[in-house]
Amino acid sequence: MPELPEVETVKEVLKQQILNETIERVDIYYDKIIAYPTSTLFKGKVVGQKINAIKRRGKWLLFVLDEDILLSHLRMEGRYYIKEQKEIPSKHVHVVFTLSSGRELWYADTRKFGRMVLQNKEEVEKRAPLNALGLEPWDEALTPLYLKEKLKKKTIPIKTVLLDQSIVVGCGNIYANEVLFLGKVHPLRKANTLTKKELENLIQNIRLVLAKAIKLGGTTIRSYESSEGVHGRFQNALSIHEQEICPSCKEKVIKIFVGGRGTYYCPNCQKK
């Protein structure tokens, strides 16, 4: 699944390609991709609007148009491609935006889980999905005190908390494994037992891991690739996820499932 670093990579690639393009036509081949409003209203609203900026909030891409903001979540396997009009979309391409340059922006999604939402600029921060999101990893408000308050009643595993987008956004499964390994925190540790120092380290490691992943273009595992087929390289720098031997102590890495998610940890470095 594309996480924050992958979405950030897609955002940067698209910014280089389609900024200031005007949407001249939209073809929708799978209506459920459009979560709000109806596909008919969606087409009627976006046609004629210019793409003035492309931003990211959590795992959502934000296409800032003249009047509205188009939010796009890639979910498991969503991808964007920039193509010439003469090319014929495959069966996995579900939305095609025809741009003023004559090129097309394709949204492809093998599993059809991705979603698009169109909202007025004045309302977007007040409504779902953005109003339910937690802090960005580099937000100055993300402090040990903030986390302490959020976690004080949570006896669930810290690994589960790291995946909770209402607390801190963008730390998906792979990155959560890496963050906990760097902090020497067992993934099943009760969230409300972490000390102020451990929470401080947690924040630093979240920022460190995500920044490194962004620099390397995200993680290409199984099916993820960014626009234009750009593959991430962070999988080559993983310390614990899908590893067999701990790089620090050479202990055998253990895999368990926490909340249904594959979780790798070192029993020696990450004592419970």
How many Cα neighbours within 13 Å face the side chain of 125? Answer: 3
| Active-site hit among 11, 56, 59, 115 | 59
Specify whether 261 is catalytic: yes
DSSP track, 212-240: HHHHTT----TT---GGGPPP-GGGG-SS
Query: What b/e string do you get for 178-192 counting C-beta neighbours within 10 Å, with b at 16 or more?
Result: bbbbbbbbbbbbebe
Report how far residue 50's alpha carbon sits from residue 241's, in angstroms, rounded to the nearest whole number: 41
Q: How far apart are CA 26 and CA 95, in angstroms?
A: 7
Out of 83, 112, 207, 261, the active site residue is 261
Q: How far apart are CA 123 and CA 202, in angstroms?
A: 33
DSSP 29: S
Nearest to 218 by CA among 10, 17, 57: 10
3 catalytically annotated? yes
CA quadruple 167, 169, 172, 178: dihedral, nearest 10: -80
Q: Known catalytic residue: 111? A: no
Give yes or no for a contact between 58 and 11, defined as CB atoms under 8 angstroms apart.
no
Q: Which two tokens stand for residue 122?
A: 């004045």
> Is 2 assigned a catalytic role?
yes
> Coil, strand or helix: which one is 178?
helix
Check if the beta carbon of residue 166 is closer than 8 Å to that of residue 134: yes
DSSP letter at 92 equals T
The residues annotated with a catalytic role in the active site are: 2-3, 59, 261
